[in-house]
Amino acid sequence: MEYINETENVIYFAGGCFWGIEHLMQSIPGVIDARSGYANGTGKEDADYKTVCTGTTGFRETVRVEYDPEKVCPENLLLAYFYVVDPTVQNRQGEDIGTQYQAGIYYTNDRIRETVERIAEIEKNNSDPFYIEISPLRNFYDAEEYHQNYLEKNPGGYCHIPRKAMKLFADLRIDPQDYCKPAADIVREKIPSEQ
């Protein structure tokens, strides 16, 4: 399989409005950069907010997450992601409804693919149905500048992810070997010992 030319330590997350996923990922120590954009759609000519919102492009509001593997592992990023998304709904998260809000995880190399597929299999056992798209990244285009760091620029702005969850993942450390059960179960077990 041929992947998009990408640095080794990058993963792409779609999970409703990209403002919340971007802010969540930025709060996790070891994340170098989180950038909002549009993934796996028709092409560059359609990669703008107004066109994506028509629901005809196949694009998902997605966040490109680059991380330092010395400080955070992909399992930690996946744990945070699965804790805040609802895998049982299609084309929506929270109050965000439309094909652009479909949840998904997109990878650009076999190492990340194997990790994503392993963790997704664990999460599938706790979710019926399971609608998270798991696939290679076909394309990604940065969203307009006003979408970048939106919740940092607008602290009271809309977000379907509770601010409490963002704070939790800014402080929580998980050993990748612990990821043998669904994200919610791991977090429940860790919270008392971390407080």
**What secondary structure letter does DSSP report for 123?**
H
Domain for residue 116, yes or no? yes
Catalytic positions, written as ranges: 17
Question: Does 2 reside within a domain?
Answer: no
Domain contains 3: no
Q: Does residue 67 surpass a pLDDT of 90?
A: yes
* Domain presence at residue 5: no
pLDDT tens figures, 69-121: 888 989 999 999 999 999 999 999 999 999 999 999 999 999 999 999 999 99
Burial 135-162 (b: 16+ CB within 10 A, else e): ebbebbbebeeebbbbbeeeeeeebbbe
Q: How many domains does the chain have?
A: 1
Residue 181 has pLDDT above 80, yes or no: no
Question: Does 33 fall in a domain?
Answer: yes
Instruction: Kindly indicate the confidence band of residue 179, based on its pLDDT and cuts at 50, 70 and 90.
Output: low
Q: Which helix (H) or strand (E) holds 191?
A: helix 183-194
Considering the entire predicted model, what is its pTM? Answer: 0.88
* Residue 1 included in any domain: no
Q: Which domain holds residue 101?
A: 10-194
Residue 84 lies in a domain: yes
CB atoms inside a 10 Å sphere around CB 66 = 16
Closest by CA position to 14, among listed 129, 110, 135:
135
State residue 101's pLDDT score: 97
Q: Looking at residue 161, what is its pLDDT?
A: 86
Confidence of residue 44 (pLDDT cuts 50, 70, 90): very high
Query: Is residue 54 a part of any domain in this protein?
Result: yes
CATH of the domain at 31: 3.30.1060.10
